[in-house]
Homo-oligomer: A and B are copies of this chain.
């Protein structure tokens, strides 16, 4: 499996409505077949300095992750939502064995 972790801070001035629309658009990406699993969440606010949001996404392979990026739904997600609310952003991608079965 190929895991992609994206942590970010909201863009300054992003409205609660725009953030909620972003979360909805992110959830909508689950229909893309290459996206095998996804968790995401807003930081719980226990510690100052934490970033605001994280998404953990699993694909079968890097090639599958690239196909996901090219999917029209993902393109619309970037143009209509991510580009409007995602500020400072950190990404790490790595292969892993997948969930214990």
Which A residues fall within an 8 A CB radius of B?
2-3, 5, 7, 39-44, 46-47, 49-54, 56, 62, 90-96, 99
How far apart sit A47 and B89, CA to CA, in the bound complex (Å)? 13
Q: Does B41 lie within 8 Å of A94, measured CB to CB?
A: yes
Q: What are 28 A-B pairs with beta-carbon distances under 8 A?
A: A2-B44, A3-B39, A3-B41, A3-B56, A5-B7, A5-B54, A7-B7, A39-B96, A40-B94, A41-B92, A41-B94, A41-B95, A41-B96, A42-B94, A43-B92, A43-B93, A44-B62, A44-B94, A46-B62, A47-B93, A50-B91, A50-B92, A51-B90, A51-B91, A51-B92, A54-B94, A56-B56, A90-B90
Across the interface, which residues of B come within 8 angstroms of A53, CB to CB? Answer: 92
